[in-house]
Structure 1
């Protein structure tokens, strides 16, 4: 859960070619004239992406100091500006209580002079609580109190889906409590790691000094912090072992926790968080046994140094400049490679989204999502769902048994557009404009309380895991629901100024992309009843893998834009490419069913809208980074890849099978058509 920090010919070559031509003999020219010339391939049939996006690509050149530009990136930037405009209005002329709270929150963050004058005062009560610890038995209560305000120390505790019953959440106790996320940093001995740990130690000392540690104790306290975090790291799992949900799910009764971890007082911890469920997941007992032992065996002074450090580190981005500079110098420059911090407004906006994002989301949707767009978006999503039903009926690879289950699952699909259907509690205490750090703690405490309410029966669909003000379409596998945020319903995804065909080609195809995830090799793990059960037959899986291999081979033959001699990684991008192909298929089917008399102009608009979403410019370094790690294809191939398999695309633009934008007849890849 989000807490306070614990998608040509070069001119020279052309000139040279002209010189050679002008110097050719008359006989040679005559001989050439006798030869029949191959007809030129129309631009749309050679590289539809470049043809459809020619104006955009010309209007958006890549600057020397810019890594990438994309149509989708511009959408994200627009939504941030919209949020900024909303908060400015709420600050100057709020409409209602929620806007008053948000406007005051925004104003308190933008007032840098006030933030500077506030210093470390917002965290003074937390530090006083820690400094008052005298005995080991007082440590667990301090740990619980910090979790309650959204500062996770020692370990992490958060709600997530109960793998035995996907309609509910339980609380998960998991590893955490380290200032560095990867436990390997604490145990490796290579030179780069030692250098990093040296910088980390210096950062710990800076924060401890800022939180009141006397100069003569800084070295000892900083080493005490590193020692305690190293003890956590030594019994923590490597990061690659945290990705398997089943390996990190072990249900334990709360009463048993009290018996097994007496020093940590975990039942009391849960009570403070407002959790009354009688079960939790505790998948790493070795780690918590170590922590339980350390509570008793280590001196309180070491624990106090560690807790002061975690408070200061977590709250540093929201306090005076000395805190912010220390945090950015290590986490921004050293860890993330940033050269300069983001502008102040961006920092404050990120903070508000982190601590009070749902509040802002409700106001964002009310301001920027017209009812007509909301209704049209839900209508088209429903039509894509119907197309999915037809695809399930007619596809040639799915068994009768799987087809029956898929139809039952589709019948239970929920579609939520704009904001979550189940609203959350907005009864946040007034924050005022006096203290940005204080406001962060108030909002974070509220957010943590709301997260804890997700634990228990019937609460699994409480809120989304994305915010309405973030442009996103997502399929929630556990809840079998399609999520469409308010922010995504604007160009280039949802452009009401364009023909309706464009809505299907862009937004509809993205809906199809996401819906297909409920019925692919991941969706096969959750059945129509919302239970974890593989409902495909072995033959279904083999057929899907065969489709995937063909898609992987197709995309693996494409050159990576901006790189020489590098091909697209077909296996890495396979799942997303399958979903893109599915999305275009389903959206086209929905469009023709909605508009059976669609003309040529409408059909062209459909495909141009699809390609328009993926307009993109990449620097060579950015392309190299993405080629090795991005599970999505670059824009050119997200646009072109699915279309070469669509006979309807070839018919619309009169592309022949011998041309790049059309595969030979019978070789096209079909998933749901």
Structure 2
């Protein structure tokens, strides 16, 4: 909005010009007629739509960021806190009773301090019982059962050749540093980090009761064991490639091949009876198998004590917590100070018992009417997607048929997972936060293991209902909408503009993932195969290049002299444009008689989701790492490609918010 003083200044200036020269005044009037002022909405729609938010949320101190979606996430945390407070004071059911006790035990810092390392004492005693090499595998299996993976990781994931089931994946793990390269690189910075890590290991070993005389030797044993694992581990790039980590083998063969590790007994201890597992790194497991016999029992005891102490440190007494934060929080994550106690306890509950909290959160914060409305809009946007696919000139007939079949068979889960979990958990009580953490962690591990086997592919989500998220699950051809995301600025059942312009556009973004270049790798039957023709792939690549070029033409807000990395934000930018196109089509069909102001509100709802303030350092970090464009551009760039936006605000081709028709990118319109 123009500051109040500006019209007066402008009027005085024109008045002085008129006194000086009537000819000059006439010339100015003719020029103004030739080039009328561009309305604010057609110059920078983001600034106009978010003016109040930007004024109320100044740029935070360095390094910091504020955003409308960040405020949504913070609100969901507060809602969880309020729910747990109520469950602690007056539980309404057995699940709330367990959650309330868990919460109370974590908030009672005096009790946590008095508890010291008692919660892990039974685990340490189990480890101390290792006397011979054959005792090691059983101890490893026992720690996995309570959710503390040691030596390696084992977790369920989708069978890439039969997407209707999960199998168990044996994967690398058991290292305290996040990247195997930290153990093997010889540069000065890495060696310095490894030195600080050794100091942290020694701290934790001392806290678990290791005698002073053994600290140096046991610390060395821990580093040596983890380094041996690291040398046989994949790079992080390989680890993030699902096709690299999927190597199905009969479970019986794995048990025979690695006899020292006793993997048959391991699977039995986890409650897994499936006949297939994935084991992508036989060299790593051969090394682990050899280490069971080669590494001395006292060295294994040191390593396992360390892993228990490190895993449980955030949930024990202050000395443990301070040691953990000093290395993991400050050194690795660069945090200046730990989160408030309530937030630490909430994070712990979500880690160990998140699905339990999620069920209660949805009951409290998602009404049946809102759930139904959210589902209806998904169906409407899906109809728009089906129609758009059918008319898309750039897709082959074969691809259109497969895309239509996938969209028809799409599974939709709103609020909470379709299939619930078994909430049978032993009573927690309010006596020991660390003990409750182990009880809940063991329960969640049990439920994870129950995902393995035929018919369990959609048992639950990989996100929690209390976490704001809207995502397409490519393996299950499933759209997931969490309870927490169904609130402003994304969703308000009483506000059609927000329902379509914000939520509907996000739905369209994710539905496009079912039929885009990645979605085209899984067909309607859930089989892995590429169903796009070379021409389809080429057309999509061309669309992506055009999107990348559009973004790359803009300066990155808050970073002097830097342009947006168009290639980095290409895929998300393409998804945003596609989602907006579909949402607008669904809105225009459902609200054909919408008034001009209501149509404008659709676009305002889109833009207001991306309200954002970044400190200079935060902006610099996101420039090279964030796959999403900065808020102002995430708002404006897609809108500049939509004639419907121009029509709503009277923008003309060539103005900043409306590209000439030849420059507009069309995905589905």
Same fold (TM over 0.5): yes
Assess, with a 3 A threshold, how the Cα gap between structure 1 residues 90 and 226 changes in structure 2: closer, same or farther: same
Q: Deviation of residue 502 (structure 1)?
A: 2.5
- 2:570 equivalent to 1:564: no
- 2:260 equivalent to 1:286: no
Structure 2 CA distance for aligned equivalents of residues 460 and 305 of structure 1 = 38
Query: What SS class does the counterpart of residue 666 from structure 1 fall into?
Result: helix
> Which position in structure 2 is the counterpart of 1:4?
none
Structure 1 CA distance for aligned equivalents of residues 339 and 22 of structure 2 = 61
> Which position in structure 2 is the counterpart of 1:34?
27
Structure 1 CA distance for aligned equivalents of residues 14 and 175 of structure 2 = 69
CA contact (8 A) 2:62 2:617 kept: no
Structure 1 CA distance for aligned equivalents of residues 379 and 532 of structure 2 = 25
CA contact (8 A) 2:164 2:457 kept: yes
Query: What SS class does the counterpart of residue 158 from structure 2 fall into?
Result: strand
Structure 1 CA distance for aligned equivalents of residues 133 and 388 of structure 2 = 63
Structure 2 CA distance for aligned equivalents of residues 313 and 244 of structure 1 = 28
Aligned pairs, how many? 664
Structure 2 CA distance for aligned equivalents of residues 298 and 448 of structure 1 = 28
Q: Aligned-pair RMSD on alpha carbons?
A: 2.2
Q: Deviation of residue 598 (structure 1)?
A: 1.6
Query: What SS class does the counterpart of residue 518 from structure 1 fall into?
Result: coil
Deviates more, 1:57-66 or 1:614-623: 57-66
Q: Deviations over 1:407-448 (max 9, x none)?
A: 111110011111111011111111000000000000000000
> Which position in structure 2 is the counterpart of 1:184?
181
> Which position in structure 2 is the counterpart of 1:225?
222
> Which position in structure 2 is the counterpart of 1:59?
56
Q: Deviation of residue 19 (structure 1)?
A: 13
Q: Residue 91 of structure 1 is aligned with which of 74, 88, 101?
A: 88
Q: Residue 151 of structure 1 is aligned with which of 114, 127, 148?
A: 148
> Which position in structure 2 is the counterpart of 1:350?
347
Assess, with a 3 A threshold, how the Cα gap between structure 1 residues 45 and 427 changes in structure 2: closer, same or farther: same
Q: Deviations over 1:12-36 (max 9, x none)?
A: xx9x999999999986896475241
Q: Deviation of residue 147 (structure 1)?
A: 0.3
Structure 2 gaps of 5+ residues are none
TM-score, with structure 2 as normaliser: 0.96
Structure 2 CA distance for aligned equivalents of residues 167 and 407 of structure 1 = 20
Q: Residue 396 of structure 2 is aligned with which of 391, 396, 399?
A: 399
Structure 1 CA distance for aligned equivalents of residues 535 and 221 of structure 2 = 57
Structure 2 CA distance for aligned equivalents of residues 171 and 388 of structure 1 = 35
Assess, with a 3 A threshold, how the Cα gap between structure 1 residues 292 and 21 changes in structure 2: closer, same or farther: farther
> Which position in structure 2 is the counterpart of 1:429?
426
CA contact (8 A) 2:258 2:285 kept: yes
Structure 1 CA distance for aligned equivalents of residues 626 and 14 of structure 2 = 44
Structure 1 gaps of 5+ residues are 1-7
Alignment of 1:625-664 (within 5 A): 625-664=621-660
Structure 1 CA distance for aligned equivalents of residues 413 and 160 of structure 2 = 23
CA contact (8 A) 2:17 2:25 kept: no
Structure 2 CA distance for aligned equivalents of residues 568 and 9 of structure 1 = 29
- 2:499 equivalent to 1:503: yes
Q: Deviations over 1:63-104 (max 9, x none)?
A: 335611100000000000000000000000110111000000
Assess, with a 3 A threshold, how the Cα gap between structure 1 residues 449 and 29 changes in structure 2: closer, same or farther: farther
Structure 1 CA distance for aligned equivalents of residues 369 and 627 of structure 2 = 34
Query: What SS class does the counterpart of residue 530 from structure 1 fall into?
Result: coil
Structure 1 CA distance for aligned equivalents of residues 178 and 438 of structure 2 = 23
Alignment of 1:41-190 (within 5 A): 41-64=38-61, 67-190=64-187
> Which position in structure 1 is the counterpart of 2:483?
486
Q: Deviations over 1:343-371 (max 9, x none)?
A: 00000000000100000000000001111
Q: Deviation of residue 238 (structure 1)?
A: 1.2
> Which position in structure 1 is the counterpart of 2:578?
582
CA contact (8 A) 2:62 2:615 kept: no
> Which position in structure 1 is the counterpart of 2:409?
412
> Which position in structure 1 is the counterpart of 2:536?
540
Q: Deviations over 1:462-495 (max 9, x none)?
A: 0001100001101000110110100011000012
Q: Residue 606 of structure 2 is aligned with which of 596, 605, 610?
A: 610
Query: What SS class does the counterpart of residue 504 from structure 2 fall into?
Result: helix
Q: Deviation of residue 278 (structure 1)?
A: 1.1
Assess, with a 3 A threshold, how the Cα gap between structure 1 residues 564 and 30 changes in structure 2: closer, same or farther: farther
Q: Residue 244 of structure 1 is aligned with which of 241, 245, 250?
A: 241
Structure 2 CA distance for aligned equivalents of residues 304 and 196 of structure 1 = 24
Q: Deviation of residue 496 (structure 1)?
A: 3.5
CA contact (8 A) 2:490 2:503 kept: yes
